[in-house]
Structure 1
Amino acid sequence: MRQDVVVMSHASLSGVSALRDVPLLRDAVVERGSRWVYSAGFNVPAVAGRRELPVSARIDSEVADLRRLVRGGARVALLSHQGDGPASAAHLGHVADYLGHRLGTRVQYVPAAVGGEAVDLAHTMAPGSVTVFGNTRFYAGEQNNDPQLAAEFAKLGDQVAVGGFSKAHRAHASNVGILAHRPAFLADSVVREVTALDRWAGTDESHYSVAVLGGMKREKVEVGLAYLVDRYDLVIAGGVVLNALLRAGGHSIGGSFLGTSADRMVAAARMVRSRPRRAELHVASEVFVRAAGNRHADVRRARVSEPIPDADMIVDFVLEPWALGRLSGSRGRPVRCLLAGTPALYVDGCRATTDVILGAFALQGDNALLLGGDTVAELPWSGRRSAGGGSALTFLATGSCPVLDAMRGRPVSGRRHA
């Protein structure tokens, strides 16, 4: 869905503590011919033969910021990523094509982001032009925040505009390391996300707060579960979060997904189960299972107290009536709710519990939020979304994220996100 944005007033930022002491792009002077690096989060797939992209919100959300730089006569070197490391990194020509369509001007793509040719091009760009440079994940040091790589990226400009909220939780060379070398300003695309998320951060005694955690990434356990059980009233576990909690509780989960960091996730889940916490924790007593690796296999209902064969996997769960009552607001307070990660294998037709949850969310109107990472894009939801999945979860859990910490000149968390 294409998004054209409205710039907010400074008054709307006054209560957002995470933005204090962060230089804003809206306050920067953009001079004709000035050289800018724009750190973006345009991790979007291409469709062969089509200019339009199936999922373009991450680009659309930053068009207004880029247009302001272009209209001011800046020369913009755009850095973004796709894939997880050099082996899966893809070229970004489709990003340049789509962005040029949105900006109404030709946007050049060059396959390198470091080296003499890239630097020379960055110096010879015409005022008011944008060039998309090579995928930052072509370079092994990107995800390790390698200082030498960050210094190379910095040669593409004299100032940095930091967009890409979807990767704000990642301390990488192109969005955190580069800040050690150039003055930086936070783009409005990130300001909007942080401001919108602020009402879901921390505890709120005026609302009954519910977090539904699912998906497949370990950050849902290590960040979402570990922190939100102390900030929310009810946490409903689905997806990999449920799998980790069940394994931590001594239950068999068969061939259910736990990713490449299974031991870490189970250890984090075991810690949550064993310690005092603010939230009620919904860990299903009944689940739906099917043959692992066969999306067309029959689904059966099973109690978690029963062994699940190694050849089977959990694909959905049964929501306890008491949890649905809490989610529907039976405790006399309005409900503030968020969903991070799809609770079940929705695209495979395992939709019963997710549809019940979304139905209860819809009744809460603007008090319901989906953290719009890759997995929840598949859900039928027309309400509020955040463009970031892991970054939004990190902000809600900790009140900040590595990019904001770096821009305030504070130490950046050592937690690495893929």
Structure 2
Amino acid sequence: MAYKTLDDIEMQDKVVLVRVDVNVPMEGGVVTDATRIEKIVPTVRDIVQSGGKPVLLAHFGRPKGTPVPDMSLQHILPALEKALGMRVIFGADCVGDAARDAIGQAGEGDVVLLENTRFHAGEEKNDPALARQLADLGDIYVNDAFSAAHRAHASTEGVARLLPSAAGRLMAEELRALDAALGSPKRPVVAVVGGAKVSTKLDLLGNLVTKVDHLVIGGGMANTFLVAQGIEVGKSLAERDMAGTAQDILKKAEAAGCTIHLPVDVVVAREFKANAASETVAADACPADAMILDAGPETVAALSKVFTDSSTLVWNGPLGAFEIEPFDAATNAAALKAAALTEAGTLVSVAGGGDTVAALNKADAAARFSYISTAGGAFLEWMEGKVLPGVAALG
């Protein structure tokens, strides 16, 4: 889709409303991980350097439409000022006199942070009146929060339709990476989808088999597909009632010319705990009293060949119980192979989703991928082929 970026708009002497995601973890009133704050710095700095006045809109936690002191954005002010290296003026509300006063106090080079948008019930309802109140504060709207783009809220979708709008640097970077992965990718394309349950990723699997050349299924999901093929998986996590659905996905993939890859060998154990006694067996030879906790080395070797023969990789979810050793081996090995191919310039690799980022970080591979999305729900809905309201509103 076509959308404007900061390079397409004149910001001199303009008040620029910027939707950001600074929903960071905190402990004892102190930010413990400022990654999300650091990621908005390029957008805010570019607005200031272009002569605009950035006014940040954001949510924090789930206050359910009423002010909650512990969820005030005032708590992040020190971390925000440190990351930006600029003075940040706080507005005690995101609309009305308090917001206007804060904007009025801001001089050249200052940044304004307005209070939690979710302190208003109209935010999550995408209330037109709240969107209008937000729009009345500024001249231009910039969305730099891809992670909230799957939600049609007043600050993500409503206000975007009332002002000249553009994507911020982080949003534009994310959209470019995603387009390179599934929109107009270099082929062949391989997708890795892991996780516990098929039932939570039906839309994802159904969309991917029509978009990619190879689909690798791992984790507990793979067990359900093995069951669908008449293979016994012992005490492994498997959704036996989803076997019919798994068969339908296999048929849809075949019709679309997508090759589905399931484990050919598996690592099994009798206990789900770190360093439990384990053995590697063929995928169709899981003992009745054991559970599958990881893919085996033959499977990793096969996946490595698929990665080597592919040009684009999209990854969501681990291949096994990556949280505990030694059942992180397949995820680690496959991730490191993808990272090496990316560094060699033969593979474009895009990954996202909570467990995925954690798994790739644990494997020491995340920093070597082409792009890592921290967007969670928005990344998943994009992989499912759904329209993201916050992105569509920029078109």
Which bracket does the TM-score occupy, shorter chain normalised?
0.7 to 0.9
Tell me the SS of whatever aligns to 1:161. Answer: strand
Residue in structure 1 matched with residue 392 of structure 2 by the alignment:
405
2:182 to 177, 189, 201: 201
Residue in structure 1 matched with residue 16 of structure 2 by the alignment:
36
Corresponding position: 1:62 with 2:17? no
CA distance in 2, matches of 1:235, 1:248: 17
Q: Displacement, 1:30?
A: 1.3
Q: Displacement, 1:69?
A: 1.9
Tell me the SS of whatever aligns to 1:272. Answer: helix
Tell me the SS of whatever aligns to 1:30. Answer: coil
CA distance in 2, matches of 1:182, 1:50: 35
Residue in structure 1 matched with residue 371 of structure 2 by the alignment:
385
Q: Which residue identity lines up with residue 318 of structure 1 in the other structure?
A: A
Tell me the SS of whatever aligns to 1:77. Answer: strand
CA distance in 2, matches of 1:239, 1:150: 42
Q: Which residue identity lines up with residue 338 of structure 1 in the other structure?
A: V
C-alpha distance 239-325 of structure 1, shift in aligned 2 (>3 A) = closer
User: Would you say the 8 A contact 2:193–2:218 is kept in 1?
Assistant: yes
Residue in structure 2 matched with residue 414 of structure 1 by the alignment:
none
Q: Which residue identity lines up with residue 20 of structure 2 in the other structure?
A: A
Matches within 5 A, 1:1-400: 18=1, 20=2, 22-32=3-13, 34-48=14-28, 53-56=32-35, 58-83=36-61, 86=64, 90-110=71-91, 112-202=93-183, 207-215=187-195, 221-239=201-219, 241-242=221-222, 256=237, 271-275=248-252, 276-284=255-263, 286=266, 288=268, 298=276, 316-319=293-296, 321=298, 324-329=301-306, 333-349=309-325, 350-365=327-342, 366=345, 367-378=347-358, 379=361, 380-381=364-365, 382-383=367-368, 384-387=370-373, 388-395=375-382, 398=385
CA distance in 2, matches of 1:96, 1:267: 52
Q: Displacement, 1:354?
A: 0.4
Tell me whether 336-345 or 86-95 shows the greater mean CA deviation: 86-95
User: Would you say the 8 A contact 2:18–2:143 is kept in 1?
Assistant: yes
C-alpha distance 112-49 of structure 1, shift in aligned 2 (>3 A) = closer
Q: Which has the higher helix share?
A: 2
Give TM-score scaled by structure 2 length.
0.76
Q: Displacement, 1:304?
A: 7.8
* Percentage identity across paired residues of the two chains: 26
Unaligned runs of 5+ in 2: none
Give TM-score scaled by structure 1 length.
0.72
CA distance in 2, matches of 1:147, 1:244: 45
Q: Displacement, 1:323?
A: 6.6
Q: Displacement, 1:377?
A: 3.3
User: Would you say the 8 A contact 2:149–2:378 is kept in 1?
Assistant: yes
Tell me whether 168-177 or 320-329 shows the greater mean CA deviation: 320-329
Tell me the SS of whatever aligns to 1:363. Answer: helix
Q: Displacement, 1:351?
A: 0.7
Which protein is bigger by CA-based radius of gyration? 2
C-alpha distance 66-156 of structure 1, shift in aligned 2 (>3 A) = same
User: Would you say the 8 A contact 1:212–1:338 is kept in 2?
Assistant: yes
Deviation string 1:43-90 (CA, Å, 9 cap, x unpaired) is 321354766x5351x332321211122234433321223435639993
C-alpha distance 152-226 of structure 1, shift in aligned 2 (>3 A) = farther
Q: Displacement, 1:270?
A: 6.3
Tell me whether 173-182 or 274-283 shows the greater mean CA deviation: 274-283
Deviation string 1:240-285 (CA, Å, 9 cap, x unpaired) is 6547656877988979599xxx99x999756524533432223447
CA distance in 2, matches of 1:106, 1:216: 45
Tell me the SS of whatever aligns to 1:362. Answer: helix
CA distance in 1, matches of 2:328, 2:163: 48
Tell me the SS of whatever aligns to 1:364. Answer: helix
User: Would you say the 8 A contact 1:220–1:241 is kept in 2?
Assistant: no
User: Would you say the 8 A contact 2:91–2:101 is kept in 1?
Assistant: no
CA distance in 2, matches of 1:318, 1:114: 53
CA distance in 1, matches of 2:243, 2:127: 30
User: How large is the Cα RMSD of the aligned pairs?
Assistant: 4.2
Q: Displacement, 1:38?
A: 0.5
